[in-house]
Amino acid sequence: MLNEKQIETMIKAGRDFMKMPHEDPDYKSDQDLKKQQPPLVKEAMGGQLIDLPTDFSDLNLENDFMKIINTRQSHRVFTSQNMTLLELSFLLWSTQGVKSIRGKSYATIRTVPCGGARHEFETYFVVQYVEGLEKGLYHYLPMTHQIEFLSPVEDCREFIDKSTAGQTWCTKASIVLYYSSVFYRAEWRYGVYSHRVQLMDIGHVMQNVYMACTAAHLGTTAIGYIDGDYLNAVFTLDGEEECMICCCPVGTVDAKNQQAEIDFYAFVKEQGL
């Protein structure tokens, strides 16, 4: 249990972290020091490779931008239907897809913006209900727009529940996207100033999850509260150089459940907030 002094210290550290620091004009990042740039993406981890379809014209997408903006919401009531491989492909493309390379191999240009185009994130996911895919753990390979199958998961609901630190509503999702940061990709360029930017970067990724889901008539919620240690262990991340930071469950939804969505916030009315 944190004592008052510890709480005060942590609040101050958190506020200082969020503030734009006074930059030291003499500070040099590893890029300034001409140290070797880290790889733009993580290599495949040895799993079976699966090509993803890319003809998104076959999807019944909402194209009215204002409608997407105005109907975006967090969904926590999923109907546990199969998603298609094309829908999965669309989500991965919309959130981390590589459109081009800047220079010979200086940076990837993707469907989301990112400070210095460092694109420090890796996408992992668990498949529970996707047509034609085995239930299990996967890793997205953005350079080739493929996925790799890492390992089967017997009880996806138990896995998702643990990974989201007991947010049991997530267990009906068709997939859960898990995002890690490979810290040095951003640190190489921005050094001690990179971490604040990384958190801004991931917000853009998660917003694109919302946008893509809304367009594809799927539901999602950004999740900051995860069991990071559990996820690092399961996806074999060392937790130091690469660490899980957040996730987004994605599922099929039905307008009939809108009242159940509202009921998640019943406490607001009950407590007269």
Ligand X SMILES: Cc1cc2nc3c(=O)[nH]c(=O)nc-3n(C[C@H](O)[C@H](O)[C@H](O)COP(=O)(O)O)c2cc1C
- Tell me which residues touch ligand X (CB under 6 A): 73-74, 167, 221-225
Amino acid making up residue 113: P
**109 vs 211, which CB is nearer to ligand X?**
211
Helix (H, G, I), strand (E, B) or coil at 84: coil
Side-chain half-sphere CA neighbours of 244 within 13 A: 26
Per the DSSP assignment, residues forming a β-bridge with 218 are 252
Under a CB-based contact definition with an 8 Å cutoff, are residues 131 and 82 in contact? Answer: yes
Query: Shortest distance, CB of residue 215 to ligand X, whole angstroms?
Result: 16
**157 vs 204, which CB is nearer to ligand X?**
204
Query: Shortest distance, CB of residue 233 to ligand X, whole angstroms?
Result: 20
Residue with token string 């249990």: 1
Under a CB-based contact definition with an 8 Å cutoff, are residues 109 and 93 in contact? Answer: no
Query: Shortest distance, CB of residue 45 to ligand X, whole angstroms?
Result: 27
**150 vs 213, which CB is nearer to ligand X?**
213
The C-alpha angle with vertex 75 and arms to 69 and 81, in degrees rounded to 5, equals 115
Query: Shortest distance, CB of residue 163 to ligand X, whole angstroms?
Result: 12
| CA–CA distance, 127 with 152 (Å, rounded to integer) | 9
| CA–CA distance, 227 with 246 (Å, rounded to integer) | 9
Query: Shortest distance, CB of residue 230 to ligand X, whole angstroms?
Result: 15
**50 vs 222, which CB is nearer to ligand X?**
222
**79 vs 84, which CB is nearer to ligand X?**
79
**147 vs 231, which CB is nearer to ligand X?**
231
Query: Shortest distance, CB of residue 74 to ligand X, whole angstroms?
Result: 3
**146 vs 207, which CB is nearer to ligand X?**
207
Q: Which residues contact 30 (CB under 8 A, 6 or more apart)?
A: 187, 188, 189, 191
Residue 40 tokens, joined: 């733009």
| CA–CA distance, 203 with 145 (Å, rounded to integer) | 22
Per the DSSP assignment, residues forming a β-bridge with 67 are none
**74 vs 105, which CB is nearer to ligand X?**
74
Helix (H, G, I), strand (E, B) or coil at 250: strand
| CA–CA distance, 74 with 94 (Å, rounded to integer) | 18
Query: Shortest distance, CB of residue 109 to ligand X, whole angstroms?
Result: 25
Query: Shortest distance, CB of residue 72 to ligand X, whole angstroms?
Result: 7
Side-chain half-sphere CA neighbours of 156 within 13 A: 23
